Chains A and B, each alone.
Chain A
């Protein structure tokens, strides 16, 4: 089922409402996410940034009572159509989490996990090396691939998680506050990596750090929550425009630190 969306868009969100049981966490979201660019979702805590991000790879399906209304189109096809298998969606759309979450396995096995479970039959060592190189981690770990992933520093662990996501050759990478558990040096390394990766992938980045959104992203969407704590989209546009010349007073208040 292909619907009319611009080919330059990877995701198109139409009238999205999202519920946790009776609680509406998102209301009336309309958004287009372009290819090969970095799209930042910013907003105060609890405004539904992460929930929206998890609508893009159906991670919310894992939460009992979670429910989606409206449409999320991925390459023009409805992500929530009944014939769509969430496992395939998650295979094509990679995700990096807030806290580095390497598996309690070796560095090699962490990166090899995705290709293995998806039945990759080629040279797995080659896939692992390519993914680690693209995540700018290869030179630091090439002599100790058999070591536990827990022997790495926090920043290295997060790059390992990025490599793990890259190893299955996704089309998009979703990042949920990937630097919030890292120190400034590790944060800069990840930000450089995100910019580098955006040449090949569409990246959706959730961050509560406005400087990070301003430094890294091409486009930015600002979300807030209303009186009933439902998240909604305030405005969205080119990052420079949003930060230099926001149309909405609430956006201006938030980015200048006068929020709340």
Chain B
């Protein structure tokens, strides 16, 4: 680099100047790379806001999809998304927490538990469309649940379960062993220790992980396209066995239309989806901060 050429002939002070210039260059480069990400996101948000804001109204939330852009709304998709997220949370929270408790508290570190743990991490990396097709085969067809909210939620549960399990495992592992020992020393059984000491201490971390997993479920399009299909629905689900659609599908549908107005409608729906996801992420962060501060008291 510069060093062998310039190095020996320069005075210390001159070399110091070169070093400082290199340091400033590194600073500018690092700042620049950071700004690429942030600027892209800001541009995206601004674009969505400018395109979508004119289309946002109360009617947009209460109307069903329509052939006329000015009458089109996200009622069916929003309710479908909320139904799907709520059912997924109900299913994956108990299964995920129970699995994590079993793996962390009840199995010793042997080859079997290592296989379990490795494969759970692997499952988190499986492409989501694979889960969609799996859900289509098992829940929609084999179990004859049809293209229902329940089938969608079960599929989404499979998809986010590894994330919930791993985050719950981390939260459980973070509970100091001294707490468990204290409980055992008072005559507590394993289950009493888990139920009364470990789970309450790990709960904030578990909830944070679950909310983040839900945020992911709300934003997933691929598996839902396999399950719910691209449909034009003019009703909202009233039972888990009703048909449904979700926001990402609705957005996909609108974006793929040639007329310019639909781009605005799609942008408005994207805005709603983003607010929903950012809200969930913010809730997770607030929850974590609140309990972190409490446990440091």
Please report A residues at the B interface, Cβ cutoff 8 Å: 57, 59, 62, 64, 87-92, 94-95, 97, 99, 101-105, 113-114, 117-118, 148, 150-151, 161, 164-165, 168
Contacts and interface: CB of A to CB of B under 8 A. Distances in A.
B258 interface: no
13 contacts: A59-B181, A59-B185, A90-B185, A95-B185, A103-B182, A103-B183, A105-B200, A114-B187, A117-B183, A117-B196, A148-B294, A150-B297, A165-B186
Which of A91, A104, A114, A164 gathers the greatest number of chain B CB atoms within 10 Å? A104
A161 B182 contact: yes
B179 A104 contact: yes
B123 to A, nearest CB: 27
B188 A87 contact: yes
A101 B178 contact: yes
A168 B294 CA distance: 28
Interface in B175-225: 176, 178-179, 181-189, 192, 196-197, 200-201
A139 to B, nearest CB: 22
B186 A113 contact: yes
Contacts of B186: 90-91, 94, 113-114, 117-118, 164-165, 168
B187 A90 contact: yes
B175 to A, nearest CB: 9
Minimum-distance CB pairs A-B, first 9:
A91-B187, A101-B178, A114-B186, A95-B185, A90-B187, A101-B182, A117-B192, A87-B187, A150-B297
Contacts of A165: 185-186
Contact of A151 (B179, B185, B297): B297
Contact of A101 (B109, B176, B189, B201): B176
Contacts of B196: 113, 117
Interface residues of B, number: 23
Which residue among B178, B186, B295, B297 has the maximum number of chain A CB atoms within 10 Å of its CB? B186
Contacts of B184: 59, 62, 87, 90
Nearest to B109: A64
Contacts of A101: 176, 178-179, 181-182
Given A64-B108, A150-B297, A151-B297, A97 B187 contact: no
Q: Interface centre among B108, B182, B183, B294, by most A CB within 10 Å?
A: B182
Contacts of B181: 59, 62, 97, 101
A55 B295 CA distance: 32
Interface in B217-252: none
B51 to A, nearest CB: 48
A104 B201 CA distance: 7
A166 to B, nearest CB: 11
Contacts of A105: 200
A102 B201 CA distance: 12
Contacts of A151: 297
A55 to B, nearest CB: 14
A151 B197 CA distance: 18
B185 A57 contact: yes
Given A101-B182, A104-B179, A117-B187, 14 more contacts: A59-B185, A95-B185, A97-B181, A99-B178, A101-B176, A101-B181, A103-B182, A113-B188, A114-B186, A117-B183, A148-B294, A150-B297, A164-B186, A165-B186
B297 A148 contact: yes
User: Residue among A90, A94, A99 with the most chain B CB within 10 A?
Assistant: A90
Interface in B119-164: none
A103 B182 CA distance: 8
